[in-house]
Amino acid sequence: MAGKRSLTNLHLDSMLQGRDMDELEQLLRPKLEPPPRPLMPMAKVNERRVQRLWKAIDVVPHPDILDQWTSRNLDAFDGHIENCIGSVKVPLGLAGPLRVNGLFAQGDYSVPLATSEAALVASYHRGCCLISAAGGCTSMLLYQALNRSPAFAFDSIITAGRFVAWAMESFEEFQQIADGTTAHGKLVDVGTTVEGNHVYLNFEFTTGDASGQNMVTIATQAICDYIAEECPVTIGQLYVEGNLSGDKKASAQAYTSVRGRKVSAEVILSPELLQKFLRVTAKQMADYWCMSAIGGVLSGTMGVHGHFANGLAALYLATGQDAACVAESAIGVTRFEVTDDGSLYASVSLPSIMVGTVGGGTSLPSQRAALELLGLHGNGHSGALAEVCAGLLLGGELSIIAALASGDFTRAHHKLAR
């Protein structure tokens, strides 16, 4: 608990609620009786097992959780969840069409967004329509790599140095081992970080059209098994992930390099389009962006942007991406500048978009349908999805910054959220 004295006293009063400290202490102590009865763990998903779990918690299956559609599609959930009791429904909206002129994405995309936040789809829709009216955004997939960082402990820094030298010489063997675990992923590079007698190897993979977290974990485990058997020095401890990869967390490493797919998108908007769609001038947009950029620096954000997480979370839920990866994907930079003719140059750069069009949740019925609506399900489409994602976020930045610059932000939420 931290805070000023007056706030701390108020908080203590709200916690105590007329009780003394002895009563509160008794309330907070561990309670071993009666002993809890853990649910029987169930990895397989089928009707019988789902019913057993409802029975175990002594609750009649809720028709909004285990509805007819869910019951019919339980087999599709197998391999995606454990202890399944049904599904939850999140409203799905469309933004767009968004015109994208990319290396991989070419055309107009109606973008599915799953959210319960009023005004979110409306905002992204407005930004997408503006971009399309300008002829579309230019969006480019710049690089792709996904890392896994095993960690090793040794008795001394000297031994650690010997290990690093051997590991660098063994890189081709590591590549062959990784190739044996997947037909789609490739080990392309390895970095080293030495901290005292600890060593982190940062393996970098390409992952084809999959997001690839499981793929690189399995490949890295196979390499670690080889290292454990063949390493010429004694390893004290070995962990398949030493928390250097930045998996599912914002990190400076991902911000300055890449984790997933690195994408940038840009658009130039005339004064007429800005007035028609956003009721602002380029100067208003740039002035607000400048002040908000300083605010972002003062608050210590990873990059400078308005709300990347909003669009990412909604798109990830709709299309079966790993929603937790929003933590690492929602970093990057939005930039606005006034051009010589009074137009607005706007761009977004995102170094860590974690998306795929095969594997994981992309095979679930609704999520597959959402990807098919985009025309981006299956092999050969992950680059296009990343470029569409960048275009979507560019639209979201234009819309929210215009709302804040013009004073419409609160009014829009008040109107649409009621």
**List of E strands, 103-136:** 106-114
Beta carbons of 132 and 97 less than 8 angstroms apart: yes
> Of residues 204, 322, 387, 397, which has the active-site annotation?
322
- 3-state helix, strand and coil shares in percent for the chain, rounded to the nearest 5: 45, 20, 35
> Of residues 67, 80, 117, 266, which has the active-site annotation?
117
Beta carbons of 245 and 231 less than 8 angstroms apart: no
Catalytic annotation present for 322: yes
In this structure, the number of other CB atoms found within 10 A of the CB of residue 339 comes to 13
**359-393 exposure pattern, b = at least 16 Cβ within 10 A, e = fewer:** bbbbbbebbbebbebbebbeeebbbbbbbbbbbbb
Closest CA to 205 of 148, 248, 256, 250: 148
Can the peptide bond before residue 35 be classed as cis, meaning omega within 30 degrees of 0? Answer: no
Catalytic annotation present for 266: no
Catalytic annotation present for 33: no
- Cβ neighbors of 315 (< 8 A, separation 6 or more) are 111, 112, 113, 321, 389, 392
Instruction: Give one DSSP letter per residue of 215-240, joined into a string.
Output: HHHHHHHHHHHHHHHH-SS--SEEES
Beta carbons of 263 and 350 less than 8 angstroms apart: yes
Closest CA to 319 of 371, 382, 383, 364: 371
Q: Which residues are marked as active site? A: 117, 322, 413
